[in-house]
Structure 1
Amino acid sequence: MHKTLLAASAVLIALSGAAYAQTTIVTQDPVTTNSTVVLPGEVRTYVMEQSVPSVSYQGDIAVGTALPDTVEVHTVDGYDDYAYTVVNDRRVIVNPQTRTVIQVLE
């Protein structure tokens, strides 16, 4: 009887630990904070060093704006999650899959 009670207690303790672990929140890069994306420093440096022509665009360039297919975006070497372009003389970093602006560099 004591062995059964001891085994049942061990099972309950193990199950409560599994239930607790399910409340863990996992975040992934890039981290978004008030519509500002925290980029790896290497990405920003790479984009600032590149020489690409500026493209004219009739509209607001802001975080969340999806660029049309007519605007050429360039990949960031070593960082598949980031691309960039220069629009209206402003460097922008975009999501290469959605073409959405994730940061406007000043």
Structure 2
Amino acid sequence: MKRFASMTAALLLTLGTSAIAQTTVVLPGEVRTYVLEQNVPSVTFEGEVVVGQPLPETVEIHTIPDQPDYAYAVVNNKRVVVNPKQRTVVEVLQ
């Protein structure tokens, strides 16, 4: 019985780790650097900018050269990396 409990705990830890890994995005360094170096005005957005949530159509997103999987916006004075196809926030940098 003790061995079963240990195996169950190990399985739950493994599943929990894989669930976290699926929601974590590792940005290429050049994407992070590019977004931090750009000088674009901030857009005011009512509400909170949350990873995984889409930005409204009223927020202009900017493309990143040679990085079709990423775009960015500056919202409420925070730089955010966005999936340009779905407009979802991938990471908040500031």
State TM-score, norm by structure 2: 0.75
1:39 corresponds in structure 2 to 27
| Residue 36 of structure 2 is aligned to residue 54 of structure 1 | no
Kindly report the root-mean-square deviation, in angstroms, between the aligned alpha carbons of the 2 structures.
1.4
**Whole-angstrom distance in 2 between the partners of 1:48 and 1:35:** 23
| Residue 84 of structure 2 is aligned to residue 96 of structure 1 | yes
Q: 50, 53, 58: which is aligned to 1:70? A: 58
In terms of fraction of residues, the more helix-rich structure is 2
In terms of fraction of residues, the more strand-rich structure is 1
> Structure 1's 98 and 45: CA in aligned 2 closer, same or farther, altered over 3 A?
same
8 Å contact from structure 1 (residues 63, 104) kept in 2: yes
Number of residue-to-residue matches in the alignment? 75
Task: Give matches, 1:6-21, under 5 Å.
Answer: none
CA-to-aligned-CA distance 1:19-69 (integer Å, 9 cap, x gap): xxxxxxxxxxxxx73743210000000000000000000011010111011
**Highest CA radius of gyration, 1 or 2?**
1
1:79 corresponds in structure 2 to 67
1:3 corresponds in structure 2 to none
1:12 corresponds in structure 2 to none
8 Å contact from structure 1 (residues 35, 63) kept in 2: no
SS of match in other structure, 2:68: strand
Runs of 4+ in 1 over 4 A off after TM superposition: none
**Whole-angstrom distance in 1 between the partners of 2:78 and 2:23:** 18
Opposite residue 57 of structure 1, the aligned amino acid is: F
Q: Which runs of 5+ in 1 are unaligned?
A: 1-31
| Highest RCO, 1 vs 2 (Cα 8 Å, sep ≥ 6) | 2
